[in-house]
Amino acid sequence: MQRLSSLLALALTLGVAAHSGRAAAQTEEAPANAASESPVGQFSGSVSLNQDVFFGFYPTVAGGYRLHEIIDLTFYGIVWTTSSFSFNSGGGGLWTEAGVGANFVLLGGDLNINPQVGILNGTLLSGSNRPLAFEGIVPNLTVNYDSRFVEAELYFGYYIALRGERANDFIHYWANAGAKPFASLGRAGSIFSVGVHWEHLRLSRTVGGDPADIYKWIGPYVQFSLPHGFSLRFAGGWDVESSASPDFYKLSVGMSF
């Protein structure tokens, strides 16, 4: 536990305020939109390069297979590269996440609801003195809405330790909503959107300590969604928790196919 506390403290010292995202993936990397217009039996996928002030650099891969007009089988993977999430902070035994789920396509493809379950591998949740496969589980939900003039996204993931000391559990969620102010100009105008991003990471349980908020981010974002599935989104603003850094920034560059 002392080693894991030091690991988290190192992350805070590096300007990371205590996933992801997924996180989580974050993962804002769900293949829902890419699959929304696919015929039955068609594959879809996306690759995203992500970087933010807490999780560092984390590439993600997501895919889907259309089982029905409104149902996709989905899968994803997140490669967490931050050394403080690795075994002894040395870069070995990096935290690794992979999962599967189902995506439900509604409102003619404008709304996608994607529950998934991921497996965590490493030491961050377990508190083990060696990397463990299947050290934790992360049930997660991504909801995307994307219409001609409006877009919105919600992600929620609950990171639960399964092995070792079961040292730490985390809750990670975000929500963002925006508008496409030039969509009335046609296809060229619809590539640009702007909105507000909110994100919260909480240490919900820890052995020998109390739950704590690690960061609470809020700020604007801008996004460019080009033809052929290329997109770029940048968000930046303030950490209202301010336990390590007063600001946050987050960049995602993705390609859907």
Indicate the pTM of the whole model.
Answer: 0.82
Separation CA 135–CA 126 (nearest Å): 6
Using CA atoms in the order 194, 12, 90, 251, what is the torsion angle rounded to 10 degrees?
10
Of the pLDDT bands very low, low, confident and very high (cuts 50, 70, 90), residue 85 is: confident
pLDDT at residue 150 tops 80: yes
Q: Domain count of the chain? A: 1
Which CATH number does the domain housing residue 248 bear? 2.40.160.40
pLDDT per residue as tens digits for the range 86-114: 776 667 788 999 999 999 999 999 999 99
Average pLDDT over the chain, rounded to an integer: 85
pLDDT at residue 37 tops 50: yes
Percent of the chain, pLDDT > 70? Answer: 82
**Residue with token string 């974050």:** 26
Tell me the residue range of the domain where 185 lies.
Answer: 2-256
